[in-house]
Chains A and B, each alone.
Chain A
Amino acid sequence: MLFKLSQNKNIQKTIINVVSIYLITTILLVLTLSYVYIVNQEKSIFLLEQEKIDIQAKYIIDQLEILDDNIVEEVAFYPRVEGIESAIYDVDKNLIFSTFDEKIILFDAKRFIKDDFIYYVYNIEPYYLGAAYLVIQKKKVLEFNSTLKKIAAIVMLIILFLVFTSFLLVKILIKPLSDNVNLLDKFIKDTTHELITPTSTILNNIEVLDLSTIDEKNLKKINRIKIGATTISNIYKDLSFLLLNNRQKSENKNLNISNILNNRIEYFKILADNRKINFSVQIQDNVYSMIDMHRAERLFDNLISNAIKFSNKNSTIHIYLAQNVNQIVLSIEDEGIGMENSELNEVFTRYKRFNENISGFGIGYDIINSIVREYDMDIKIISHKNRGTKVILKW
């Protein structure tokens, strides 16, 4: 279902936008809540830790007082407490004695973190053994790290769950739309399929008619029937290409595209003649390209039929095909109504029609664009309003 819908770029874009907005906002909410929880958790763990450290600091300061009282008589053995390291600094923040090796610079902060340790700073008054500051070094609390890991794991699980539910939601939401698209697909497929058999019958029968036995009046009528049938056939081919394009694998062969282009011009001659449009053809013989036959025909047909559709009566369509050393150049130029710059920007949008008076579905340039992208061709459209349009392809 998603695959079928994803063929429509607009629907695909909408799905991506909706899912992105949903995911981003929800993830932001989850992250904000997690952040608030982490900060509170950190605070409470720190407070709990601080209480323990306060008790240990008081013990050390009491011991320093005792040592200071006896310093005249004996050597002072600095008090060591299990689980923590400590140091004393004088009033000018010069180290007096330390049980840890890390070099730190004392600031006015009561607590600071450096590398893997948290440092707690206490003032000593009076200065027992000359010490004005007691610094206690404690390894970062593991309990907090494990809490952080747990939260990260929960957040990851929530995000995964959100991704899963968002796709589930999108699937549920787009089901009616998908059903309609499928129905429309089926309808177009069935209709075009039902149309092609009688159209082919008409065209085949006209081909085998002995035109020499038919008078001029009836010949004109038969020509009109042929033009109508050719148009229907062309519409069928475009629609079936559009519907099946993504499901049919290209069978690329080294094809003589000069011959294919000449055949397609011949095929469209009857339509051009009807509007008194001439072809000025300059096609180099035996230009070969690795391309799928069906796609080459759709490309040429759409370029030529577009040129015919938008040409003025009694005008000329210039068709040029040549191969240089490494490059094939194809250009088709009409002397028709042309396009504005704003229209040129939207020329590849499917179902976009700029002139309601000219028949069509607005799928010609979309088909051209999909083939151009598939074969990595360079396309340039030069158009001037009321002067005509020139499409140049290079690959």
Chain B
Amino acid sequence: MVKVVCILLVSIYLFANPYETNCLYCHKDKKELKYFMAEYSLKYSSEKKIKKAIFRFLKNPTSNKSVTPYGYIIKHGFKEKSRLNDKDLKDAIDTYYDKYNIKQFIK
């Protein structure tokens, strides 16, 4: 029984979306995620450019690549470099975009 539970947990971890296993671990607040997407949209506009900007930032986070306000950085500090491989990182970004892109909130 313990084995079955262990296998099940390992499988869930292995087949889980990198966005859920990596991003949501820290970013639990949905409003916060929506806010970041709004900031990216305001600065980069199109899907292609937003995804590219997020990827570049997560690979090597610097203040000039960040869209978050200075106060937020002071409070929470800078994010570490992502340890995900490019494919997983892109998958995670795709999922994030699908869930929070601004288009879907316009009626």
Contact = CB atoms under 8 A, between A and B. Distances in A.
Interface of A: 67-68, 71-73, 75-78, 90-92, 94, 96-97, 126-132
A91 B107 contact: no
A76 B107 contact: yes
Interface string B13-36: 000000000000000000100110
A71 B39 CA distance: 10
Contact of B38 (A72, A77, A92): A72
A92 B45 CA distance: 8
B104 to A, nearest CB: 9
A130 B105 contact: no
A91 B43 CA distance: 10
A127 B106 contact: no
A94 B44 CA distance: 13
B106 A92 contact: no
A94 B47 contact: yes
A131 B46 CA distance: 8
B42 to A, nearest CB: 5
B7 to A, nearest CB: 41
Contacts of B81: none
Given A94-B46, A130-B102, 8 more contacts: A75-B106, A91-B49, A92-B47, A96-B106, A126-B43, A127-B43, A129-B102, A130-B44
Given A92-B46, A94-B46, A129 B41 contact: yes
A127 B107 contact: no
Given A96-B103, A96-B106, A130-B102, A72 B45 contact: no
B35 A130 contact: no
A76 B34 CA distance: 13
A127 B42 contact: yes
Contacts of A77: 106-107
A77 B105 CA distance: 8
A130 B46 contact: yes
24 contacts: A67-B106, A68-B38, A71-B105, A72-B31, A72-B34, A75-B105, A75-B106, A75-B107, A76-B102, A77-B106, A78-B107, A90-B46, A91-B44, A91-B49, A92-B47, A94-B47, A97-B103, A126-B42, A127-B41, A127-B42, A129-B106, A130-B42, A130-B101, A130-B103
A192 B4 CA distance: 135
Contacts of A91: 44-46, 49
B76 interface: no
Contacts of A126: 42-43
Interface in B29-69: 31, 34-35, 38, 41-50
A81 to B, nearest CB: 16
Contacts of A96: 102-103, 106
Q: Across the A-B interface, give the 4 residue pairs with the lowest CB-CB distance, nearest first.
A: A130-B41, A91-B45, A127-B45, A90-B46
B102 A71 contact: yes
Contacts of A129: 41, 102, 106
Contacts of B103: 96-97, 130
A72 B47 contact: no
Which of B45, B49, B106 counts the most chain A CB atoms within 10 A?
B45
Nearest to A71: B38
A130 B45 contact: yes
Contacts of A71: 34, 38, 102, 105
B54 to A, nearest CB: 14
A71 B106 CA distance: 9
Contacts of A132: 45-46
Contacts of A131: 45
A148 B31 CA distance: 56
A127 B44 contact: yes
B58 to A, nearest CB: 20
A294 to B, nearest CB: 92
A67 B106 CA distance: 9
A92 B31 contact: no
Interface string B66-103: 00000000000000000000000000000000000111
